[in-house]
Amino acid sequence: MKIVLLGTGNVAVHLGPSLKKAGHRFLQVYGRNERSARSLSKKLDCPFATDLGLLQPKADVYLLAVRDEAIPELLPFLPATEALILHTSGSVPLDVLRNFKNTGVLYPLQTLSIHRKIKISAVPFCLEVNRPALKQRLTKLIKPASSNLHWIDSDQRRILHLAAVFANNFSNHLFSISEDLLNENGMDFGLLKPLILETGKKVQTHSPRDMQTGPARRGDSETIEKHLALLSGHPQYAQLYQLLTESIREMNGPRL
Amino acid sequence: MKIVLLGTGNVAVHLGPSLKKAGHRFLQVYGRNERSARSLSKKLDCPFATDLGLLQPKADVYLLAVRDEAIPELLPFLPATEALILHTSGSVPLDVLRNFKNTGVLYPLQTLSIHRKIKISAVPFCLEVNRPALKQRLTKLIKPASSNLHWIDSDQRRILHLAAVFANNFSNHLFSISEDLLNENGMDFGLLKPLILETGKKVQTHSPRDMQTGPARRGDSETIEKHLALLSGHPQYAQLYQLLTESIREMNGPRL
């Protein structure tokens, strides 16, 4: 399929080359930043544009891999076309594309950063289209790159994005708190790395709910009190400790 | 070295066989539960006892791999001896063993469960002894099993245990929340597994603070408001969402 890619950020940089490798052809990359656009266009072996007025009109797919807020800003510049218009956002409903005939979503459920390689074939893609007839077209686009495909509607995708914030952004913040506590006390964060990796591996095969351990799970009030005392210099962390402890107790009940 | 192992739980079951494999000899396993004690004693090729009055008096090491609360209960039954008395707890100070001459701590900083295999050689062990002269003896015990060794005093170890609660217990609870949200909306937790694994892998090479992403990090109030609205049926989760968002903003500042 012939693709015009809009965007040069984390998603574009991972998705573009994977789709090319899967056999698709890029007609053009658009990006506001000339340097990023040129760099990505080289990888995709196609021209680039920094002017929205110069978008190629004859693609099969327009892939909007841009920040959520930028999606509506780009739409007026897309050609009135039978092509498939796709966005890649977890939290923007498909309906934002309602002025076009053939629309869909291609949301990669993975944390993508420019500096880390990701095996795209293992990334779950959440798919949605505005008409059932388009399912085949979207599958044809992405299946050669990843077969981990899931049809998820806009309402479900919002929940999924929220759940991903808990599972990824918030857990990463907890890792930052542990790093902070260690550094403050002359210890290296490296000490916790094997534990963090194992925590992530464990839930690959077990329900996290069943794997819950720790003072809150045991109902070990003595340790909980000691920990809160240690956090007296960090009221924010102490409040989080307390709320997470309550939430574990509510979900799992004390084992006692 | 000749070891008497007290305890048949998660730590004992992982540590015992590893120390045997490393060339040490077990004289005896003690456990309240006869079945667990017998089972572990077979693996360690030694007799077992369920009666504290029958502890072998001639070991080089008494290894107390039991729950925190059980440590003081066992102490009166240990022989008055020159042997090294060790506990394996993250939150109990070394001082609990003050009535003995040669004491120490051997705290494996990893989540150990009976049903998951762990490469002990990759586990960080936090070590402490009551007299510097004992450092060599404790090293001789554990070094053949793992060379990831760290001398950590009781005060640091308390902080480390607290940090591990954030990094492991609390992040696992966030995974449970995401699982709950997905199931409630007809989606499978499997969707999030690659994301969770990558989150754990990323911090192996990068500081989690630098890796922070998401609506809170971006200062994306619109998405935050939408997420809070989605959580209206879960006041506990909404409160956690809010507090974690504030905490990220405080630590990282909005990127804006």
For the stretch A123-159, pLDDT in tens is: 999 999 999 999 999 999 999 999 999 999 999 999 9
H or E element that contains A182: helix A171-184
Confidence at residue B147, expressed as pLDDT on a 0 to 100 scale: 93
Euclidean distance between CA atoms B119 and B38, whole angstroms: 24
Task: Kindly tell me the burial class for residue B61, based on how many C-beta atoms sit within 10 Å of its own C-beta (0-12, 13-18, 19 or more).
Answer: buried
Q: What residue ranges of chain B have pLDDT lower than 50? A: 256
Give ∠ CA A163-A169-A174 in degrees, rounded to 5: 115
The three-point CA angle B240-B243-B247 to 5° equals 135
Residues contacting residue A27 through CB under 8 Å, at least 6 positions apart: A2, A3, A4, A46, A47, A56, A58, A59
Return the pLDDT at B256: 44
Q: Which of B196, B226, B244 sits opposite A91 (nearest CB)?
A: B226
- β-partners of residue B25 are B2
Specify the pairing of strand A125-129 against strand A102-108.
Answer: antiparallel
Which of chain B's residues have a Cβ under 8 Å away from the Cβ of A163?
177-179, 181-182, 192
Give the dihedral sign, CA A7/A12/A18/A22: negative
* Torsion angles phi and psi, residue A91, rounded to 5: -115, -5
A256 pLDDT more than 50: no
**pLDDT value, residue B254:** 57
B153 shares contact with chain A (CB less than 8 Å): no
Nearest CA in chain A to B113: A211
User: How far apart are alpha carbons B254 and B256 in whole angstroms?
Assistant: 5
Q: What percent of chain A has pLDDT over 90?
A: 92
Scanning A122-151 for CB atoms below 8 A from B yields 122-124, 126, 148, 150
Asked whether residue A77 carries a pLDDT value surpassing 60, the answer given is: yes
Which of A103, A137, A142 minimizes the C-alpha distance to A15? A142
State whether A159 and B251 contact (CB < 8 Å).
no
In chain B, the N- to C-terminal Cα span, in Å, equals 60
Chain A contact present for B95, CB below 8 A: no
Give A66→chain B minimum CA distance, Å: 14
Gap between the Cα atoms of A239 and A227, Å rounded: 12
pTM of the complete model: 0.92
With contacts defined as CB-CB under 8 Å, which chain B residues touch A200? 196-197, 199-201
**pLDDT reported for residue B24:** 98
Structural tokens at position B35 = 């079945």
Return the pLDDT at A87. 98
- A18-23 long-range Cβ contacts below 8 angstroms, 24+ apart: A18/A120, A18/A145, A18/A146, A19/A141, A19/A142, A19/A145, A20/A44, A20/A45, A21/A145, A22/A144, A22/A145, A23/A144
Strand partners, A63: A5, A86
Is A22 at the interface with chain B, CB within 8 A? no
R_g over Cα of chain A: 23
DSSP lists the bridge partners of residue A48 as: A29
CA distance readout (Å), B88 to A204, B40, B134: 28, 18, 16
* Backbone angle region of B200, left / alpha / beta, with phi > 0 → left and psi within -120 to 50 → alpha: alpha
Chain segment A30-59, per-residue pLDDT in tens: 999 999 999 999 999 999 999 999 999 999
DSSP state of B134: G
Q: What is the pLDDT of residue B116?
A: 82
**Rounded to 5 degrees, what angle do the CA atoms B211, B188, B196 make?**
20
> In this predicted structure, what is the pLDDT of residue A254?
57
Contact: A110, B198; criterion CB under 8 Å? yes
In the numeric block, which tokens belong to residue A15? Answer: 């998705």
Position A115 scores a pLDDT of: 78
Q: Which of B1, B25, B155, B5 is nearest to B74 (CA)?
A: B5
Q: How far apart are CA A193 and CA A175, in angstroms?
A: 9
In this prediction, does ipTM exceed 0.90? yes
Task: Check CB contact under 8 Å for B194 and A170.
Answer: no
- Contact: A212, B178; criterion CB under 8 Å: no
Work out whether strand B2-6 and strand B25-30 pair parallel, antiparallel, or are unpaired.
parallel
Look at A166 and B202 and tell me if their CB atoms are within 8 Å. Answer: no
Could you give the strand order of the β-sheet that contains A2-6, starting from the edge strand earlier in sequence?
A48-49, A25-30, A2-6, A61-64, A84-87, A102-108, A125-129, A149-151
Which region holds residue A111: left if phi is over 0, alpha if psi is between -120 and 50, else beta? beta
